[in-house]
Amino acid sequence: MKFNKLLISVTLLILCLLVTVDYIYTQQQSRKEFVKLQKLKKQEIALDTEFGQLQIQYSYSVNNSRIEKKAKEQLGMKLPQKEQILNIKR
C-alpha cells in the first residue's frame, strides 16, 4: 500500500513538473511571438508613412501645372498658336 501511494505521488510530481515546464516553454514562445508582432507593427507603421510620402510626391510630380511649367522653362516648349494647329479628318 505504501508503494502504491509513493508511486502515485511520484507520478503526480512528475506530471506537475512536466506541466510546469510546458507552461514555461509556452509562455516563452508567446513572448517571442509578441516581440515579433511588435516589430512587424513598427515596420507596418514605417511602410505606411513611406507610402503616404510617396503618394504626396507622386501627386506633386504629376500635377499638370507643374509639368507645363517645367516644359516651358527647361525644354522651351509652348502651346501652339491657332494657325499652327491642323485638324486631320479621316
Residue with cell 515546464: 21
Q: Return the amino acid letter for 43.
A: Q
Cβ–Cβ < 8 Å for 11, 3: no
What span, in angstroms and rounded, lies between the C-alpha atoms of 85 and 82?
Answer: 5
Mean pLDDT across 67-72: 84
> 7-61 pLDDT, tens per residue?
999 999 999 999 999 999 999 999 999 999 999 999 999 999 999 999 998 887 7
Could you tell me the pTM of the whole model?
0.56
For residue 84, what pLDDT is reported? Answer: 85
Helix, strand, coil % over all residues of the chain, rounded to 5: 85, 0, 15
Quickly list DSSP for 33-55.
HHHHHHHHHHHHHHHHHHHHHHH
For residue 64, what pLDDT is reported? Answer: 76
Taking the domains of the chain in order of start, what are their residue ranges?
2-63
